[in-house]
Amino acid sequence: MKLAPLDYKRPASLQEAIAILAAHDGAALPLAGGQSLIPILAFRLAAPTMLVDLRGVPGLDGIAIGPGGVRLGAMVRWRDIEDEKRLAAAWPLLPAVISHIAHYQIRNRGTVGGSLAHADPAAELPGLAVTCDATIEIVGRDGPREIPASALFVGALSTSLAAGDLIVGMRLPPWRDGRRWAFEEFALRRGDFAIVGVAAYYDLDDAGRVVDAHIGAIGVSEYPIRLTAAEQALNGSPIDDATIAAAARAACAMVEPQDDIHASAAYRRALVGTLTERALARASA
């Protein structure tokens, strides 16, 4: 339960951090808040020879709210999102999702970039990012680039990032006035990892029909997924009990969860339906 020996550097610039990461070709790992990485090192599930602490890198913090949406710097902590009270109006689904992440002490250190890079299948922020068409900002050896969140996650605890790539921020697209939204999660204790979570939002056209439904789930796959069948069941329909029930059935039918020590596949599948129904009922209330 003690970490294996390793080296440590605290670069003072983004370029320096990327140069160190690239030079070690995967043997160096970036350290943000450490709330996922340090347990992995304590269990010796990863064996980096070097940690590159991002604490001294300027420009990775800050929450920007504007007409283009919300931008979260990679070193923004859960606590910072809780404390940014403007988000409740500007992007209400974000603080609602964040409130489910981990416990008090961990929320004081855990970061946006760390959670995205860790890519836990049950983690809330990756689920929000995939559900809501977030853009991930990366700087690597060849300079900056952007990818959709859906292209970041490739497996459990596994991303498409290359050695020397660093997540520097995440952008959420503009939030429309009047949008309906909800997040529902089932965990054994509040703050524990989700067994299943469902995030949902949609807009209504002038005739009261659903447009642009976005529904996604965590805990049912190796990485967060969009529940596209449930979205199709909603789009173009008025929101009522029958539509919600149809969307929940469609969500259940499209997921292929696995058994693990926390829950059986059948239980997770049932939860997807229940939580989709609850999320849509709450969103439409």
Pairing mode of beta strands 166-172, 180-186: unpaired
CB of residue 113 vs other proteins: minimum separation in angstroms? Answer: 16
What are the strands of the beta sheet with 7-9, ordered from one edge? Answer: 7-9, 50-53, 28-31
CB of residue 51 vs other proteins: minimum separation in angstroms? Answer: 7
Rounded-to-integer distance, Cα 81 and Cα 91, Å: 11
CB of residue 63 vs other proteins: minimum separation in angstroms? Answer: 16
Taking the least distance from each CB to other proteins, the nearer of 28 and 252 is 28
Rounded-to-integer distance, Cα 271 and Cα 148, Å: 27
| Cα–Cα nearest to 186, from 156, 218, 215 | 218
Segment near other proteins (CB under 8 A); pick from 106-114, 229-237, 243-251, 257-265: 106-114
x/- site string to other proteins, residues 37 to 76, per CB under 8 A?
-xx-xxx-----x-x-x-x---------------------
Rounded-to-integer distance, Cα 171 and Cα 158, Å: 21
Segment near other proteins (CB under 8 A); pick from 90-98, 153-161, 184-192, 275-283: 184-192
> Is residue 10 close enough to count as binding other proteins by CB under 8 A?
yes
**Amino acid making up residue 164:** G
Taking the least distance from each CB to other proteins, the nearer of 39 and 238 is 39
Take residue 111 and report the two structure tokens written for it: 């970061």
Interface residue with other proteins among 17, 29, 35, 153 (CB under 8 A) is 35
Take residue 168 and report the two structure tokens written for it: 């520097």
> Is residue 253 close enough to count as binding other proteins by CB under 8 A?
no
> Is residue 106 close enough to count as binding other proteins by CB under 8 A?
yes
Interface residue with other proteins among 1, 89, 261, 285 (CB under 8 A) is 1
CB of residue 46 vs other proteins: minimum separation in angstroms? Answer: 13
DSSP line for 232-276: HHHTTSB-SHHHHHHHHHHHHHH------SS--HHHHHHHHHHHH
Backbone angles phi, psi at 155, to 5 degrees: 180, 180
Interface residue with other proteins among 89, 104, 178, 261 (CB under 8 A) is 104
> Is residue 265 close enough to count as binding other proteins by CB under 8 A?
no
CB of residue 38 vs other proteins: minimum separation in angstroms? Answer: 5
Taking the least distance from each CB to other proteins, the nearer of 100 and 226 is 100
DSSP line for 24-92: HTTSEEEESS-TTHHHHHHTTS---SEEEEGGG-TT---EEEETTEEEEETT-BHHHHHH-TTHHHHST
Residues lying near other proteins in the complex (CB under 8 A): 1-8, 10, 31, 34-35, 38-39, 41-43, 49, 51, 53, 55, 79, 83, 102-106, 108-109, 189-191
